[in-house]
Structure 1
Amino acid sequence: MKWVFFAGLAALGSAALAQTAPSFDCSKASTSAEELICTDEALARLDRLVAERFDAALDVVRGLESGSASAEDDLRAYQRGWIAGRDDCWKAQDLAACVKDSYLRRDGELVATWLLETPIGIAYWSCNGDPANEVVTYFFATERPSVRFERGDSIDAGALVPTGSGSRYEGSFGRSIWIKGEEATYREPDPDGASYQCVLARKE
C-alpha cells in the first residue's frame, strides 16, 4: 500500500504546485519577466487571474451572434501584444512593480471591456452643456479599480491612477476622466485629445 500513499502525496504536491505556479510552463520561461513570475507567488497568482479572465473573455466572444471569429482574432492579437508589453518591463527600473502594474491593468481591461463582472456603479455624464454629448462610465471593483468608457460607438477600458483630489481613470491613447463629486473632466483619446467639462446626469 506504500505506493498508494506516495502516489497520494505526489497528487497533493501537484495540486499545491498548481495553486502557486503561473499559467505558463516555467521550464520554458524565456524573459526576465517570466523568470520573475515563476519565483514570485504574488505575481504568479496575478498571472493565473489574468489567464482566467482571458478565457472568460474568449467565452464571451465565442457567444457573439455575429463577428465572433474576427473578435476572437482581435482578442488573441491584443493579448499577444499585452504579453510583449509585459515582457518589456525589463527596461523598467523596478521589474517587479512594472510586471505587477501590467497585470493589474490587464485584469481591469478584460473585465471592463467584456463585462466579466457586474459593475458596482454606472454614471451618465452630460458634457459641455449638451445632454446629447454623453459619456457613460461603468465602474468595477477589480484589484485595481477599473472603468469602462462608452461614448457614441466607442468603448474603452481604464484604470484608476493616483491623483491629488477626486478619482482619475486613464484609458487608451490618452483617454481619461477625472471625477470630482458630480463634475468631471473627460478627455478624448489622441490624436483629438479634446477635453469636455461634464456634469453627472444620473447614476445607477
Structure 2
Amino acid sequence: MNMRSLSILTCLALVPAIGLAQEGPSFDCAQAESSAEKLICEDTELAALDRRLADRFAAAVTAAQSLDVGADETTDTLRAMQRGWISGRDECWKEPDLRACVKSEYLQREAELVAELMLEPPSQTLELVCGQRALTVDTFATEFSGIRVEEGDSVYIGAQFAADTPGTYYLRSAGGLVMGDGAPRVSDVYGKETTCEIR
C-alpha cells in the first residue's frame, strides 16, 4: 500500500470521529458527572446548544479583552460568572423536568452574554420613564430575548424569563421588566412595580 492510499484510509477512518465531535457538546462526555451533563451528552439538540453557548462565551471573552477600560476585571468577572452559571445549570436535577430546565438555562445564558457584551446590534432601543427613573432599554433577538438596561452609570443585564413569557424579563440582581403587555412595567428586587412611559 502506497502512502497516498494509506492517507486516504486514515482520513476515512477519522470521518466518524469528526462527525461525533461536531454532534457532541463542547466538553468531554467521558468526564461528565452531573445529570445535566449526562443528558446533554445524550441529546443532540442540547449538545448543539452547548456548542453554540461555548462559541458565544468565546466571543464574549474576546469582546471583554478588547475593552479600553477594565478589560482584565471584566474578563475575570465573565469567567467567574460562567463558572457560577455551570453550577446553576447542574442544579437542574432538582426540577421536575430536567431537560426543560437545562434548555432554558442555556438560552437565558446566551441572551445574557449577547446583551452584556453587545455581541449583536440591538433589535430595538427604547427610552422609558418609570416614575423618577430614566431607562434606556436595548433588546436583542436571541432565541430567548436578551435585554440591557442603562440607568445613569448603571447597567442591568437580563433575559426572557421563560419560553412562554415573551416580553417578560428578569434583570440580574435588579428585579424585572415587562414589555409588550400593555404599558411597560419595571419591578425592583422586592417585586414593587412601577408603570413606565415610552419617550
- The question of 1:97 aligning with 2:95 is answered no
For residues 107 and 135 of structure 2, what CA distance do their matches in structure 1 show? 24
- The question of 1:187 aligning with 2:190 is answered no
- Structure with greater strand percent: 1
Q: 2:150 aligns to what SS in structure 1? A: strand
For residues 165 and 72 of structure 1, what CA distance do their matches in structure 2 show? 31
Q: Which moved more, 1:46-55 or 1:155-164?
A: 155-164
- The question of 1:18 aligning with 2:16 is answered no
AA partner of residue 199 (structure 1) = E
Give the CA deviation at 1:161: 3.5
Give the CA deviation at 1:127: 1.9
Number of aligned positions between the proteins? 196
AA partner of residue 53 (structure 2) = V
Root mean square deviation of aligned Cα: 2.2
**TM-score, normalised relative to structure 2:** 0.89
Q: How does 1:10-159 map to 2 (within 5 A)?
A: 10-128=13-131, 133-159=133-159
Q: Deviations over 1:53-82 (max 9, x none)?
A: 111111111111122112111111100000
Q: 2:179 aligns to what SS in structure 1? A: strand
**TM-score, normalised relative to structure 1:** 0.87
Q: Which runs of 4+ in 1 moved over 4 A?
A: 162-166
Change (3 A) 1:147 1:73: same
Percent sequence identity over aligned pairs:
39
For residues 125 and 10 of structure 1, what CA distance do their matches in structure 2 show? 59
Where does residue 197 of structure 1 map in the other structure?
A: 195
Q: Which runs of 5+ in 2 are unaligned?
A: none
- The question of 1:6 aligning with 2:6 is answered no
Q: Which runs of 5+ in 1 are unaligned?
A: none
AA partner of residue 25 (structure 1) = D
**Does structure 1 conserve the Cα–Cα contact (< 8 Å) formed by 2:64 and 2:71?**
yes
Q: 1:102 aligns to what SS in structure 2? A: helix
Give the CA deviation at 1:103: 0.3
For residues 50 and 102 of structure 1, what CA distance do their matches in structure 2 show? 11
Q: Deviations over 1:87-140 (max 9, x none)?
A: 111111111111101001000000001100111110111122x5xx31111111
Give the CA deviation at 1:154: 1.9
Q: 2:78 aligns to what SS in structure 1? A: helix
